[in-house]
Amino acid sequence: MSSKPSMPASLPAVIGTPMQLAFVPKDFDAALEHWTQAMGVGPFFVIEEVALDNMTYRGSPCDCRFKLALGYWGDMQIELIEWLSGNRAIYGDPWLPGNGAVHHTCILTEDLARAREAFAAAGSEVLVTGDVGEDGGVFYADTGPARSRPHAGGIVEVLQPASGALDVFAMIRDAARDWDGRDPVRSLA
């Protein structure tokens, strides 16, 4: 009797908790309307302009600026992203999936360096790195399938949240639990 080889632990199991599905829609406002009206997700909290400190794209400095909206669908965070200016980095071809498909997933970690080592050991290419706030950081990695099968969902964001970020996420999640459909899009300054 032959036994199946055991599967290696998945990267999320080694790194931390998967918590987000992110989309880069062609029409940001239409996507907000879809998620709030058709899907009943909301409210969304919008940050009008985001730029990661010390951002790199494939190892070179990058000045990408983008807008984002965060909402919760149960305990799953939904992120909508609109590229504004600078290098398109992962928000342009060849990294944009078609037909509104998921752009990337996000995993929270408490140890960004350990997470990068695990992704490197798995053969993943780090696409973007950056600092988040005073004590947080992020990287985006191509886990492989996107290279061999375009838009197969191969980008993973790994986030070590800055101080206070988890409290903001909890506030947005709590707003979703009690949401009555009013004020579907709010500002997060």
Q: Buried b / exposed e across 125-163, counting CB within 10 Å, b at 16+?
A: ebbbbbebeeebbbbbbbbeebeeeebebbbbbbbbbbe
Task: Decide: 64 and 86 in contact? Cβ < 8 Å.
Answer: yes
Q: Residues 137-155: what's their mean pLDDT?
A: 70
User: Is the pLDDT reported for residue 98 higher than 70?
Assistant: yes
The domains of the chain, with CATH numbers, are: 15-177 (3.10.180.10)
Average pLDDT, rounded, for the chain? 88
According to the model, what pLDDT value does residue 154 have? Answer: 72
Instruction: With a cut of 50, say whether residue 51 has pLDDT above it.
Output: yes
Dump pLDDT digits (tens) for 103-134.
999 999 999 999 999 988 888 889 999 999 99
Interatomic CA distance for residues 12 and 137, integer angstroms:
17
Angle, CA of 60, 65 and 71, to the nearest 5°: 120
pLDDT above 70 (res 62): yes
